[in-house]
Structure 1
Amino acid sequence: MAAAGCSAPGATLESAPAVELTAIGASVRDPVWSYRDRSLLGFTDDHRLAKITVTGSPTADTRLSEPMDVGRNLQISQKDDRHVFVPQPQRDRVTVVDIESLQRVDEFDAGPAPAYLTEDAGMRVLLALSADGSSVTPVDQYGFRKLPPADISAEPADTIDGANRGRQIEYHLYGPSGIRYYKGPSSPPEERGSLQMDVAVSAGDGTAVTRSYVAGRNDSVLYAVDSRRGGHGMEVLGCAQLSAPIRYLGTDETRIYAATDRDVVVLETESFTGYSDGIIPVLRTIDYRTGLGGPAAMAPLSGMAVGPKRVYLTLRGQPYLVSVAKPRP
């Protein structure tokens, strides 16, 4: 029996309205949330870094950097969150940009054609995946010292995700051929496990560092995967069947956010307990498309960022931002 005055998890929202459309100064892809600045950072179609300050008004202040060579994603430094790392594969460099001014403050060598970045937060090591997906180059953020690269002997990887804590180099690689998990005291780390499954979108778990959430290309099934007990091998812990293919995934401390072409589906991570019945629980499904008009109603998604109270979606080729309120715990 539920206690009087209480509501089930996900029944109420962190903020209002449930869905909000905001005009921004440019179309943006692959945004990330800056907790320090309470803003979104992303790439524009003409290869600029955009900083979007969201206040709840119909139009958000949007500032743009000068054009630059850019890779596939951004990585805000967890060592110094005033800075964001921008991969520049054509220059074989990673540029450090000051978030406040959008000015370049440093650059460093991160291996061949760095295109996709992540961070091993516990080790304060930036991890750069090459444009061809064949190597991972770690860079110590204390002095930006390049460490020995790890060559990927199997099929090339599309993306990489570093661990949020720990005292060893630890990361997952994802791609059409599957997931590979690496961990070790130095680079190149040991491969601890792999799982053959098509992976098009993925997100790590901030609490259980060995766990990932993945979905295949044009697949509507979300999978939770983890290393086997003992730290070697990988297994599927649970899954959830959604109503449409999953385009983007994100997580926070307790939730998974899966964006389809119409909905944001909120699910439980259950990082400590796992899924006793093998099913990932769905907390809430929020339709973000119904109230949109004009080109925004049909534009494909170009990215998703998880903020403290809202989830932000960008639209391909459209200067708009859609935000969805997060359910309360």
Structure 2
Amino acid sequence: MDLRRTVASTAALAALAAGCTAADAVPDSTPEVAVLRLDTPVREPVWSKEAEAVVGLAETEPRIVKFAPGESSGRLTARTTSSDRIPGLGDNLAPSATGEDVLYAPRPDAGRVAVVDSGTLRVKGTVRAGEAPAYVTVDSGADVLLALSRDGSTVTGVDVQPDPGEDPAVVTRNEVRLGPSGEVDGPARGRLIEFHTVGPDRISHYKGAVGEVEKTADIPFRAETTTGDLVKVSRLYAAEKGTDRLVAIDVAPGGDKLLIAARSRLGAPVLHLGADENRLYAVTEDRLVVLETNSYEGFPSGEFTVVKSIDYRSALKDAELRQAPVSGLAVGPSRVYLTLRGVPYALSVAEPGL
């Protein structure tokens, strides 16, 4: 499978908001797993706090799709909106890190990143962020947009608030040599520029001030999917490719190496990950496993605590839906959204109470 999964780090930024938004709030009678009908299949979903909606990429066309969860007559519904065609869209989307109503959409063929209004899905402009930017994430603490080149050779970080009409200043450029299947994950807080890179067989950590970002450490690991911790910026959660092993990778005391701080066997390979401030969400072929992040306390036992395991397939009566692979995960304020590959549906799964 392609390593490029929803960087979940950015997908879960909305969970920093306290309570539920109007779009995500549902009545107590709503089922634990609900099926949402969309206008088109969607992949690489993320939650946009400003839009109070899930946004993602259309599977079959170069468009951005937004669906806003709602409730009508006691049932969950979804209002779907699509952008105009945006030729040459890259591999994912990243929500704004600064509270602006925008999304960042890489366009590698154009050598630019599109800045998209999260409400109307109209392109407001473009910015230059390195060569052929294909995958983007945001370092929210440092207000930096990070773009990985299409060949996976470089990560370029630029100021997310450039002067009008000007390309943003480049604040870091790092040679990473990840290859075309690599990904980059930026944190939700922190004053220094900091990010992880994920290659075919290695995870690395980078950190530093403007113009001084360097690799601090790396660890051999074949990741199927990863997501960052929203509180402890040095921590990355990763699922091992081809196994059922889930780990928390963190910077060791001294900052010169990465170590595995926690691990768990979930009984099936993990295909997608997402997080909020308290929970980690791991999607297997038929279950959503909810675990504690222990961002402040750490993992004294070296093991994750499983909060709940939800069989989301049991809610699917249609055979086509029961067999459709999950194409991505977005974490909202009170529900997790799973998009399905090849079919115009998404699943809305209630998050366990704290």
TM range (shorter): over 0.9
Unaligned runs of 5+ in 2: 1-25, 163-167
Q: Distance in 2 between matches of 1:232 and 1:156?
A: 27
Match for residue 84 of structure 2?
A: 66
Match for residue 281 of structure 2?
A: 257
What amino acid is the match of 2:110?
A: R
Contact 1:305 1:313 in 2 (8 A): yes
Q: 2:329 aligns with which of 299, 304, 318?
A: 304
Q: TM-score, normalised by structure 2?
A: 0.86
Q: Evaluate the alpha carbon distance shift between residue 180 and residue 228 of structure 1 in structure 2; reply closer, same or farther with a 3 A threshold.
A: same
Match for residue 320 of structure 1?
A: 345
What amino acid is the match of 1:228?
A: A
Q: Distance in 2 between matches of 1:273 and 1:147?
A: 33
SS of 2:151's equivalent in the other structure is coil
Match for residue 79 of structure 1?
A: 98
SS of 1:277's equivalent in the other structure is coil
The reply on whether 1:22 has 2:36 as its aligned counterpart is yes
What amino acid is the match of 1:29?
A: R
The reply on whether 1:181 has 2:205 as its aligned counterpart is yes
Contact 1:157 1:173 in 2 (8 A): no
Question: How far off is 1:80 after superposition?
Answer: 3.5
The reply on whether 1:52 has 2:67 as its aligned counterpart is yes
What amino acid is the match of 1:272?
A: Y
SS of 1:91's equivalent in the other structure is coil
Q: Distance in 1 between matches of 2:98 and 2:49?
A: 13
Spell out the pairing of 1:1-329 with structure 2 (5 A cutoff).
16-45=30-59, 46-56=61-71, 57=75, 59-68=77-86, 69-143=88-162, 144-153=168-177, 158-187=182-211, 189-292=213-316, 293-329=318-354
Q: Distance in 2 between matches of 1:189 and 1:288?
A: 42
Question: How far off is 1:106 after superposition?
Answer: 1.2
Q: Distance in 1 between matches of 2:191 and 2:153?
A: 25
Contact 1:180 1:195 in 2 (8 A): yes
Q: TM-score, normalised by structure 1?
A: 0.92
Q: Evaluate the alpha carbon distance shift between residue 262 and residue 158 of structure 1 in structure 2; reply closer, same or farther with a 3 A threshold.
A: same
Q: Evaluate the alpha carbon distance shift between residue 274 and residue 96 of structure 1 in structure 2; reply closer, same or farther with a 3 A threshold.
A: same
Q: Distance in 2 between matches of 1:257 and 1:58?
A: 21
Q: Distance in 2 between matches of 1:238 and 1:126?
A: 29
Contact 1:175 1:200 in 2 (8 A): no
Question: How far off is 1:276 after superposition?
Answer: 1.5
Q: Evaluate the alpha carbon distance shift between residue 167 and residue 14 of structure 1 in structure 2; reply closer, same or farther with a 3 A threshold.
A: farther
What amino acid is the match of 2:46?
A: V
SS of 2:141's equivalent in the other structure is coil
Contact 1:150 1:187 in 2 (8 A): no
Q: Distance in 2 between matches of 1:103 and 1:184?
A: 34
Contact 1:172 1:179 in 2 (8 A): yes
Question: How far off is 1:188 after superposition?
Answer: 5.5
Question: How far off is 1:81 after superposition?
Answer: 3.2
Contact 1:257 1:264 in 2 (8 A): yes
Contact 2:50 2:118 in 1 (8 A): no
Contact 1:109 1:146 in 2 (8 A): no
Contact 1:36 1:82 in 2 (8 A): yes
Contact 2:225 2:271 in 1 (8 A): yes
Q: Distance in 1 between matches of 2:240 and 2:270?
A: 8
Q: Distance in 1 between matches of 2:308 and 2:110?
A: 44
Moved segments of 4+, more than 4 Å:
153-157
Q: Evaluate the alpha carbon distance shift between residue 114 and residue 229 of structure 1 in structure 2; reply closer, same or farther with a 3 A threshold.
A: same
Q: How many residues align?
A: 317
Question: How far off is 1:146 after superposition?
Answer: 2.9
SS of 1:90's equivalent in the other structure is coil
Contact 1:214 1:222 in 2 (8 A): yes
SS of 2:84's equivalent in the other structure is coil
CA RMSD of aligned residues (A): 1.7
Contact 1:155 1:177 in 2 (8 A): no
Contact 1:14 1:327 in 2 (8 A): no
Q: Relative to structure 2, which stretch is displaced further, 304-313 or 274-283?
A: 274-283
Determine what percentage of the aligned residue pairs are the same residue: 39
Question: How far off is 1:34 after superposition?
Answer: 1.3
SS of 2:223's equivalent in the other structure is coil
Q: Evaluate the alpha carbon distance shift between residue 299 and residue 129 of structure 1 in structure 2; reply closer, same or farther with a 3 A threshold.
A: same
